[in-house]
Amino acid sequence: MSDVKIAVAGAGGRMGAAVIRAAQIAGASVHSAFDRHGSAAIGKDAGTLAGTDALGVAVVDDIATALAGADAIIDFTVPSASVMLARHAAEHGLIHICGTTGFTPGESDEIAAAARAGARIVKSGNFSLGVNLLAGLVRQAAKALPGFDIEILEMHHNRKVDAPSGTALLLGQAAAEGRAVALDDVSVRVRDGHTGPREPGTIGFATLRGGTVVGEHSVILAGDREMITLSHRADDRAIFANGAVRAALWAADKPAGLYDMADVLGLKD
């Protein structure tokens, strides 16, 4: 068993349960598990809640209790909770694996500030191996095909609350880097009504929601009489949870700072 003691935030959620299962499979130590005050998960055994062996770790709603003695927080919750957890990680020099999506620019800035103030934060819109490899391919394709129109299409389950997905934005960021432009300057996130012709150089986003889809993303590069589609499909939340546990163990000997999954996977060398 690894000696990194993990506190699982949002333990009653879809990803919280997947993280508990992934930690057990990886032989990582689930030190504590917590959720929102009033959550139906409070008081239940974290392992039982996640559908595996009982862990002897009851889900609590007191964050200070949950984080006492922990080395790392794995956090797939909501933006306001993630900002608060990043601040706590800075105060106590903890590892914060932040998988939450849907941050405002101000919230993202607060998380970056916590990393400068002493937290070891690994933040990514997608913790899977496949999407992070795909991002490199998208960067390369966007650079090699400057005249092609780039559109990013994503589909998720009907419980998802933010759009575009964190992954779509991550892939958009990779495309923008390939083109050496700022994503905020070129992104088109909504189209409705008489939009006029497509503005060259823009990166468009389209969002679909329905059923139980775990996560599907396509980056379309549309040129003159030819089109390339680079796609990823997640079949199980375990791929994100495995990546998050891997990131927590990776961060154990790293200095404070803001990292992403490409750092963890060694994709920046």
Ligand X SMILES: NC(=O)C1=CN([C@@H]2O[C@H](COP(=O)(O)OP(=O)(O)OC[C@H]3O[C@@H](n4cnc5c(N)ncnc54)[C@H](OP(=O)(O)O)[C@@H]3O)[C@@H](O)[C@H]2O)C=CC1
156 interacts with, out of ligand X, ligand LZUJQKHR, none, CB within 5 to 8 A per kind: ligand LZUJQKHR
Kindly state the DSSP code that residue 211 receives in the 8-state scheme. Answer: T
Does position 101 interact with ligand LZUJQKHR (CB under 6 A)? The reply is yes
Please identify, using beta-carbon distances, which residue of 99 and 204 lies nearer to ligand X.
99
Does position 187 interact with ligand LZUJQKHR (CB under 6 A)? The reply is no
Q: Taking a C-beta distance cutoff of 8 angstroms, is the pair 106, 145 a contact?
A: no
Q: Is 101 helix (H, G, I), strand (E, B) or coil?
A: coil
Whole-angstrom distance, CA of residue 41 vs CA of residue 23: 18
Asked whether the bond before 164 is cis by omega within 30 degrees of 0, the reply is: yes
DSSP 1-46: --SPEEEEETTTSHHHHHHHHHHHHHT-EEEEEE--TT-TTTTSBH
Number of other CB atoms surrounding residue 224 within 10 Å: 8
Q: What residues numbered 178-217 form the site for ligand X, per CB under 6 A?
A: none
Does position 9 interact with ligand X (CB under 6 A)? The reply is yes
Task: Choose, by CB under 6 A, the member of 32, 126, 132, 242 that binds ligand LZUJQKHR.
Answer: 126
Does position 82 interact with ligand LZUJQKHR (CB under 6 A)? The reply is no
The site for ligand LZUJQKHR (CB under 6 A) is made up of: 101, 125-126, 156, 160, 165-167, 215, 234
Annotated binding site for NAD(+): 10-15, 35, 99-101, 124-127
Binding residues, by number, are: 10-15, 35-36, 99-101, 124-127, 157, 166-167
Known binding-site positions for NADP(+): 36
